[in-house]
């Protein structure tokens, strides 16, 4: 067994909507090993996005702990949290690139936060552009890029500070299937090359099957099932997992629409 | 030349005469002076207050309800007063600050008092349009609040801020003309004293032309800069 690199214990989070409590996370326990790609799948509104945002505290959990490596994220002060966040990369569904900066400046932004010297920053930006295959777009603005290219810049920016963890919040959900595949290939490649631990949130089961080592199924703020992707595909234990797999299978069934008359 | 004695065309022609412009030109200078100084103050204080409003709002980076509520209420108070009343109210303040309650400098005080709250609200709405995801991305990278403010929020919304400032300057110009009737001098003074009181409609026409040209120029410059930035970023 490898070491438990990320450990989430009894995480609770409630949103208040007009004085009505909407429980989003109801006691999440999660362990992710170092160097694996861990997928969390769930239908919309299951709370998976909130869970991943609690890991770097974009969302403050009500109770429970989050630990990454040696640092207890959930009990850090503001400045220490900012320092820790520099070691946690994050990519988003809408990419969230800064339109006022070129690709190179976007990638250099996190390096400025760690006060990286100028020469090193330049070298790192080039290295990252090489990694994501966008060398020729160095001085382009995000507005000129396609969705897939934007996400590659997002990945380069997230990796610039050589983080230990990459959080992916529906990073492929806004991309077409072909681009999704190429972005997933890139994630797999950097996972192998850099030994990066990746937590990947998605509502597409095929994304998990393609890219992840282990997975968890989430519904209504609870993790119903965790295990290797293979195990869950072969013998799903919870209803939600069976549901997901049956949808997945139906899309791949040999049923053809009959021709109209 | 009054419209009561001469035809419209005669008056219109005469408004381009040297005699008229002898009076109008120095007034343009005064107006420009007031507009320029006021605009600088409006820019600085408007941006500052607008930023504070956004920062301290409930969804902001540093939520602080008391500051937000009080500042919002004060801004609304100033916004609810018509410009004439602000000018009157600011007369004693101007006397205390610049020594007299008339003249260009006194006028600048009331211009600033009236237009800063307006521009602050425009800045606020520009900044609120910014996609929250970008702020979150910066937060997730470990960026501090002030850094997010000045390296993300302001540059990202710059084209919209420039448009807002253009609008504010146009309003400053129109208010300068109004302040002219309260002894501020400038174009407004010419329009009121000659055009209204003495029926010298050629002078009135000249002031109208000048105001249209100035406002047009300001609008074109603002729009062009804003568009150039958007083009550079390939957003249009």
HEC readout, chain B: CCCCCCCHHHHHHHCCCHHHHHHHHHHHHHHHHHHHHHHHHHHHHHHHHHHHHHHHCCCCCCCCHHHHHHHHHHHHHHHHCCHHHHHHHHHHHHHHHHCCCCCHHHHHHHHHHHHHHHHHHHHHHHHHCCCHHHHHHHHHCCCCHHHHHHHHHHHHCHHHHHHHHHHHHHHHHHHHHHHHHHCCCCHHHHHHHHHHHCCCHHHHHHHHHHHHHHHHHHHHHHHHHHHHHHHHCCCC
Interface check for B144 against chain A (CB to CB < 8 A): the answer is yes
Q: How far is CA B133 from the centre of its chain?
A: 31
Give residue B11's Cα distance to chain centre.
31
Residues 6+ apart with CB under 8 A from B189: B27, B30, B180, B181, B183
The domain over range B8-232 is classified in CATH as 1.10.3720.10? yes
Nearest CA in chain A to B159: A100
Query: Tokens for A101?
Result: 């900066």
Structure tokens at B127: 């900044």
The answer, for B232 touching chain A at a CB cutoff of 8 Å, is yes
In chain B, at which residue ranges do the beta strands (DSSP E only) sit? none
ipTM above 0.85, yes or no: yes
B232 contact residues in A (CB cutoff 8 A): 141
B134 reaches A (C-beta below 8 A): yes
| Among B15, B13, B44, B35, CA closest to B161 | B44
Q: Helix crossing, B104-128 with B65-80: angle to 10°?
A: 130
- 3.10.310.50, 2.40.50.100, 3.40.50.970, 3.40.50.300: which CATH number matches A34-56+78-251? 3.40.50.300
In the block, which residue shows the tokens 């992916």? A168
Structure tokens at B233: 């970023």
B138·A56 Cβ contact <8 A: no
Considering CB atoms only, which of B134, B136, B142 is closest to A98?
B134
Residue of B nearest to A96 (CA): B134
- Count how many Cα atoms sit within 13 Å of the Cα of residue B148 in the half-sphere of its side chain: 24
Cα–Cα distance list, A64 to A21, A30, A51 (Å): 18, 11, 12
Per-residue model confidence (pLDDT) at position B103:
85
The residues on A that touch B, with CB distances below 8 Å, are 56, 58, 81-86, 88, 90, 92, 94, 96-101, 109-110, 113, 141-144, 157, 161, 167
- Predicted local distance difference test score (pLDDT) of residue A1: 47
pLDDT at A44: 85
Helix (H, G, I), strand (E, B) or coil at B7: coil
Q: Which residues of chain B have pLDDT under 70?
A: none
Pairing label, strands A214-219, A222-228: antiparallel
- How many Å separate Cα A177 from the centre of its chain? 17
Which of A96, A114, A156 to mutate: most B Cβ within 10 Å? A96
User: What sign does the CA torsion over A75, A79, A83, A88 have?
Assistant: positive
**CB spacing of A94 vs B155 below 8 angstroms:** no
Tokens found for residue A142 = 């995000």
Alpha carbon distance B96, A117 (integer Å): 52
Helical residues (DSSP H) of B129-156, grouped into ranges:
132-140, 145-148, 154-156
Contact B155, A105 (CB under 8 A): no
| pLDDT tens-place values along chain A, 261 residues long | 456 899 999 999 998 877 777 778 999 999 999 999 999 999 888 899 999 999 999 999 999 999 999 999 999 999 999 999 999 999 999 999 999 999 999 999 999 999 999 999 999 999 999 999 999 999 999 999 999 999 999 999 999 999 999 999 999 999 999 999 999 999 999 999 999 999 999 999 999 999 999 999 999 999 999 999 999 999 999 999 999 999 999 888 888 888 887
Q: Which residues, in sequence order, are bridge partners of residue A169?
A: A92, A201
Three-point CA angle B170, B175, B177, nearest 5°: 105
């Amino acid at each position: 067994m490898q070491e438990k690199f990320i450990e989430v214990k009894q995480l609770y989070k409630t949103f208040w909507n007009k004085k009505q409590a909407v429980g989003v996370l109801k006691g999440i326990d999660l362990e992710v090993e170092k160097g694996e790609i861990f997928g969390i799948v769930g239908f919309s509104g299951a709370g998976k996005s909130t869970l991943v945002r609690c890991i770097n505290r974009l969302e403050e959990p009500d109770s429970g702990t989050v630990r990454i490596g040696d640092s207890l994220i959930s009990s850090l002060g503001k400045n220490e949290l900012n320092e820790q966040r520099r070691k946690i990369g994050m990519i988003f569904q809408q990419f969230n690139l800064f339109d006022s900066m070129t690709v190179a400046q976007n990638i250099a932004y996190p390096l400025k936060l760690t006060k990286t010297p100028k020469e090193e920053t330049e070298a790192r930006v080039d290295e990252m552009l090489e990694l994501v295959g966008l060398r020729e777009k160095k001085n382009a603005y995000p507005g000129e890029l396609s969705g897939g290219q934007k996400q590659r810049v997002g990945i380069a920016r997230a990796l610039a500070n050589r983080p230990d963890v990459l959080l992916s919040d529906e990073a492929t959900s806004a991309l077409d299937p072909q681009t999704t595949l190429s972005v997933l290939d890139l994630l797999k490649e950097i996972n192998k090359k850099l030994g990066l631990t990746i937590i990947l949130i998605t509502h597409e089961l095929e994304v998990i099957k393609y890219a992840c080592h282990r997975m968890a199924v989430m519904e209504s703020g609870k993790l119903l099932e965790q295990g290797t992707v293979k195990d869950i595909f072969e013998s799903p234990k919870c209803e939600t997992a069976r549901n997901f797999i049956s949808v997945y299978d139906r899309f791949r069934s040999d049923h053809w629409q009959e021709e109209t008359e | 030349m009054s419209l009561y004695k001469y035809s419209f065309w005669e008056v219109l022609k005469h408004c381009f005469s040297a005699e008229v412009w002898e009076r109008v030109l120095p007034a343009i200078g005064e107006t420009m002076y007031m507009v320029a100084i006021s605009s600088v103050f409006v820019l600085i204080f408007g941006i500052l207050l607008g930023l504070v409003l956004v920062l301290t709002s409930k969804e902001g980076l540093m939520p602080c309800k008391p500051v937000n509520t009080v500042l919002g209420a004060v801004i609304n108070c100033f916004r609810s007063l018509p410009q004439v009343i602000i000018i009157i109210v600011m007369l004693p303040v101007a006397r205390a600050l610049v020594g007299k309650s008339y003249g260009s400098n006194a006028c600048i005080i009331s211009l600033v008092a009236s237009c800063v709250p307006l521009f602050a609200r425009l800045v606020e709405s520009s900044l609120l349009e910014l996609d929250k995801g970008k702020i979150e991305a910066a937060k997730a990278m470990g960026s501090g609040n002030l850094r997010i403010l000045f390296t993300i929020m302001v540059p990202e919304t710059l084209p919209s801020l420039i448009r807002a400032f253009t609008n504010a300057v146009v309003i400053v110009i129109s208010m300068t003309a109004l302040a002219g009737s309260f002894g501020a001098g400038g174009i407004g003074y010419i329009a009121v004293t000659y055009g209204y009181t003495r029926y010298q409609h050629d002078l009135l026409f000249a002031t109208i032309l000048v105001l249209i040209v100035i406002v047009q120029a300001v609008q074109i410059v603002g729009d062009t800069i804003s568009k150039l930035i958007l083009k550079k970023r390939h957003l249009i």
